[in-house]
Amino acid sequence: MKIVCKNDELISAINIALRAVSSKTTMAVLECLFIEARNGKILMTSNNMELGIKTEVPGRIDEEGQVAVNAKIFSDIARKLPVGNINISVDENYSMFINCGKAKFRIAAQSGNDFPVLPEIKKDSFITISEFTLKEVIRQTIFAVSDNEATKIMTGEHFEINGKNLTVTALDGHRIAIRNIELKKVFDDKDVIIPGKTLNEISKIIEGDAEKEIVIYFSQNNILFELENTIVLSRLIEGKYLNVKQMISPDFDTKIKINKKELMDCIDRATLLVKESDKKPIIISIENSSIRLNMNTSIGTMDEEIDVEKDGNDLLIGFNPKFIMDVIKVIDEDEITIYMTNSKAPCFIRDEKVSYNYLILPVNFSTAR
Amino acid sequence: MKIVCKNDELISAINIALRAVSSKTTMAVLECLFIEARNGKILMTSNNMELGIKTEVPGRIDEEGQVAVNAKIFSDIARKLPVGNINISVDENYSMFINCGKAKFRIAAQSGNDFPVLPEIKKDSFITISEFTLKEVIRQTIFAVSDNEATKIMTGEHFEINGKNLTVTALDGHRIAIRNIELKKVFDDKDVIIPGKTLNEISKIIEGDAEKEIVIYFSQNNILFELENTIVLSRLIEGKYLNVKQMISPDFDTKIKINKKELMDCIDRATLLVKESDKKPIIISIENSSIRLNMNTSIGTMDEEIDVEKDGNDLLIGFNPKFIMDVIKVIDEDEITIYMTNSKAPCFIRDEKVSYNYLILPVNFSTAR
């Protein structure tokens, strides 16, 4: 194999492919990038058996061939080369020669014959979505995905397509994050669970351009994201997702409208007093046109008042401060509205169009503080 | 105690004082900042028993007093407060109240009666030096200080004052770093060993302003740095420093003048192939008007040529690449000059005025590569 490519273009491709390279594996070949130069295309593939990425490297092929090379070493070298054209060649013993300017590297590589190629999937069922929308949807829900592998279903996000509507749901037993998006046209109904890890990697690969469309193909067990010069293939999580609709209620007895930044700063300060090990609630006392937030731990106490617009009853309610923070961090509006019923019932943070809807369970606390 | 101060001024003072707070200690009071409000001054002190810092916090005193408060908690809270005036008060039980805007904190503090106050030192023997010069001198030598506590003397830097000249020396058994500075006037001769850790902290505290002068006072066992609103007191290392003059020679058989950036980039690339555990030398072959650098490890090989100006004999010599890098990183000139004798004798990197002089011992390597 003999190829020539440009520094920055090689590094961009490596950065994408690295996202599916195994770090902990007993199969050394999964720590490799698999490079094929054939039919006028240079393709770089990585595969950790859950997630696979194939991306094109712009460049010139002087001799076709293939090679698998340790991803970390190859990536480190590529990054440190002087700016210019990089000549990469592989001899019959799979020694790889990397030349750029006056710098000449030789490293050991392998044939890549045992590299697990990405399976082909049927391209009949699909949706299209802009990079921007997909990236936003992931950012606004991914924090609620469970990291407990024991309940596999909750480690993924539910993507449900219904006519023109896409509903994305994540939950972990204490909270639910829902985003409703209107797609640009009607697609076939679909209902899949995509691993949270896959969505995390996808959202790092895509730039979030509102003009660029991604095609997402669905097969029985896999999902394929087709980007500009890259495809990302992932397994789906098997099983039936939880029915969250029955947990969501539009009713409330107390509604407050609050400045997002003030609430965020206040919770930020309150959590200073919480040691990692203990789970202290932030207690919110809603009275008239202000709320008082209180945190009380072994380190000390904090009290703060914030002005709000209130509808309905007064209320004393406690929350895990992290759960509130996770939600308000991803909301773009300056004001948020919180709907509550009583100190034991779930609270909801949602906008009027219900383009987002977050459910958070309150925390029990002793009122004898 | 009751004081009022501004957010940013409190945080600046905390940032300075934090540099002498113990992180690992059995004495809880050493994890504290000691705050005194007396005689119109608010002073904040930290002391880890090696290094002590006392800095002034601008502010208003409404009631004199003192308190010792956990440095981490106090610092975290100060940073998260809204912008504005911070009211700090301490009651008779040493509860500390920190109020700023609508945010109110209460944390436990202590009297500070057992806080180790900084000893007074005589101010008869001193030098003055600009912040800029001191910061530069430290940066250009500190890397050669040994971290091996077994040879205590080598964990410090030798500061030797001789008339108008200050010579700063650091060494670790494989290399020596020397900086010669001309002071603005003649001071008393002096010869002390300052702990490397102290110099590290000092260089982080000072901004490096060429117009600001620091006064450095010397006593039998201590050194005191007097900055604008801050004093830093450190123990000196006892003992007699090594006589490095006899190790320095102006003679050479080979001299090369080389572009610093090209050499730096090349060594940077070569060290990609070195795993942390092994100590592979970079081998430099000097022939005619270019040098060839070669690295050969279990990961692969690298070869690179760099054009140089050469005087004297051809030479094949090996170095620990890190030792070369450490030196060239701190030299400001674009070109550096390396003086060598043979593959076993120390090499020197110095400028013509010998304002800096770095000695590096070469590494033995098998020529049967």
A298 pLDDT more than 50? yes
Of chain B, the percentage scoring pLDDT greater than 70 comes to 99
Q: Which of B259, B138, B132 is nearest to B194 (CA)?
A: B138
- Whole-number Cα distances in Å, B55 to A21, A320, B30, B109: 50, 39, 16, 20
The mean per-residue pLDDT over the stretch B43-64 comes to 97
- Say whether both A286 and A319 belong to one domain: yes
Residue pLDDT, tens place only, A153-192: 999 999 999 999 999 999 999 999 999 999 999 999 999 9
User: Which distant-in-sequence residues (6+ apart) come within 8 Å of A188 by Cβ?
Assistant: A125, A161
Q: Render B258-303 in DSSP notation, one character per residue.
A: EEHHHHHHHHHHHGGG--TT--PPEEEEEETTEEEEEEE-SSEEEE
Give me the pLDDT at residue B365, please: 80
Q: In B, which residues are within 8 Å of A77 by CB distance?
A: 269, 272
Give me the pLDDT at residue A368, please: 41
A269, closest residue in chain B (CA to CA)? B80
Give me the pLDDT at residue B25, please: 82
Q: Which of B163, B52, B173 is nearest to B118 (CA)?
A: B52
Contact B301 A82 (CB under 8 A): no
- Say whether both A100 and A198 belong to one domain: no
Q: In B, which residues are within 8 Å of A81 by CB distance?
A: 269
The angle that helices B71-80 and B7-17 make with each other, rounded to 10 degrees, is 150
Q: In A, which residues are within 8 Å of B265 by CB distance?
A: 80, 82
Contact between A183 and A365 under an 8 Å Cβ cutoff? The reply is: no
Give me the pLDDT at residue A198, please: 96
- Whole-number Cα distances in Å, B104 to A272, B99, B209, B359: 13, 5, 38, 58
Q: How far is B152 from chain A (nearest CA, A)?
A: 37
B297, closest residue in chain A (CA to CA)? A107
The mean per-residue pLDDT over the stretch A56-80 comes to 97
DSSP structure class, residue B114 = T
The token duo for B50 is 């090696």
Q: Which residues of A319-345 are buried (b: 16+ CB within 10 A; e: fewer)?
A: bbbbbbbbbbebbeeeebbbbbbebee
- Say whether both A254 and A325 belong to one domain: yes
User: Which distant-in-sequence residues (6+ apart) come within 8 Å of B168 by Cβ?
Assistant: B137, B141, B157, B158, B159, B160, B178, B179, B181
Residue B60's SS3 state is strand
The mean per-residue pLDDT over the stretch B249-259 comes to 95
Residue pLDDT, tens place only, B77-133: 999 999 999 999 999 999 999 999 999 999 999 999 999 999 999 999 999 999 999
Q: What Rg, from alpha-carbon coordinates, does chain B have?
A: 25
Give me the pLDDT at residue B277, please: 73
Has residue B103 been placed in a domain? Answer: yes
- Say whether both B269 and B227 belong to one domain: no
Neighbour tally for B334: CB within 10 Å: 8
Residue B344's SS3 state is coil
A25 pLDDT more than 90? no
Has residue A121 been placed in a domain? Answer: no
The token duo for B205 is 């505290």
- Say whether both A131 and A68 belong to one domain: no
d(CA B260, CA B308) in angstroms, rounded, equals 11
Has residue B93 been placed in a domain? Answer: yes
User: Could you say which of A245, A270, A285 is where a domain stops?
Assistant: A245
Q: How far is A342 from chain B (nearest CA, A)?
A: 26
d(CA B336, CA B327) in angstroms, rounded, equals 10
- A264 in contact with chain B, both atoms CB, cutoff 8 A: no
Has residue A16 been placed in a domain? Answer: yes
Residue ranges making up the domain that contains B179: 125-242
User: Could you say which of B78, B108, B138 is where a domain stops?
Assistant: B108
- Say whether both B230 and B281 belong to one domain: no
- Say whether both B290 and B346 belong to one domain: yes
Q: How far is A106 from chain B (nearest CA, A)?
A: 5
CATH code of the domain covering residue A87 = 3.10.150.10
Has residue A369 been placed in a domain? Answer: no
The mean per-residue pLDDT over the stretch B251-269 comes to 96
The angle at the Cα of A123, spanning A119 to A129, to the nearest 5 degrees, equals 110
Q: In A, which residues are within 8 Å of B106 by CB distance?
A: 300-302
B367 pLDDT more than 60? no
- Say whether both B201 and B228 belong to one domain: yes
B5 pLDDT more than 60? yes
Residue pLDDT, tens place only, B286-344: 998 899 999 999 999 999 999 999 999 999 999 999 999 999 999 999 999 999 999 99
A277 pLDDT more than 80? no
Contact B265 A302 (CB under 8 A): no
Has residue B116 been placed in a domain? Answer: no
Under the banding of pLDDT at 50, 70 and 90, the label for residue A357 is very high
Q: In A, which residues are within 8 Å of B301 by CB distance?
A: 105-107
The angle at the Cα of B8, spanning B5 to B13, to the nearest 5 degrees, equals 80
Structural domain total, chain A? 3
Contact between B108 and B91 under an 8 Å Cβ cutoff? The reply is: no
- Say whether both B142 and B219 belong to one domain: yes
| Encoded amino acid at B24, one letter | K
DSSP structure class, residue B211 = T
d(CA A326, CA A321) in angstroms, rounded, equals 9
Q: What is the ipTM of this complex?
A: 0.86
Residue pLDDT, tens place only, A214-251: 999 999 999 999 999 999 999 999 999 999 999 999 99
Contact A104 B304 (CB under 8 A): yes
- Say whether both A166 and A237 belong to one domain: yes
- A304 in contact with chain B, both atoms CB, cutoff 8 A: yes
- Say whether both A194 and A253 belong to one domain: no
- A272 in contact with chain B, both atoms CB, cutoff 8 A: yes
Share the mean pLDDT of chain B.
95
- B97 in contact with chain A, both atoms CB, cutoff 8 A: no
Give me the pLDDT at residue B159, please: 97
User: Which distant-in-sequence residues (6+ apart) come within 8 Å of B341 by Cβ?
Assistant: B249, B251, B252, B253, B254, B347
Q: pTM for the complete prediction?
A: 0.90
Three-class SS of B20-47: HCCCCCCCHHHHEEEEEEECCEEEEEEE
Give me the pLDDT at residue A369, please: 44
Has residue A114 been placed in a domain? Answer: no
Place of tokens 């106490």: A301
Has residue A209 been placed in a domain? Answer: yes
Q: How far is B202 from chain A (nearest CA, A)?
A: 29
Residue pLDDT, tens place only, B209-227: 999 999 999 999 999 999 9
- Say whether both B226 and B296 belong to one domain: no
Under the banding of pLDDT at 50, 70 and 90, the label for residue B152 is very high
Contact between A349 and A313 under an 8 Å Cβ cutoff? The reply is: no
The token duo for B250 is 């102006």
User: Could you say which of A245, A276, A295 is where a domain stops?
Assistant: A245
Of chain A, the percentage scoring pLDDT greater than 90 comes to 93
B368 pLDDT more than 70? no
The token duo for A211 is 């003009």
The token duo for A26 is 């007993």
d(CA B20, CA B18) in angstroms, rounded, equals 5
Contact between B215 and B227 under an 8 Å Cβ cutoff? The reply is: no
Place of tokens 């320095």: B248
The angle that helices A196-205 and A131-139 make with each other, rounded to 10 degrees, is 130
- A104 in contact with chain B, both atoms CB, cutoff 8 A: yes
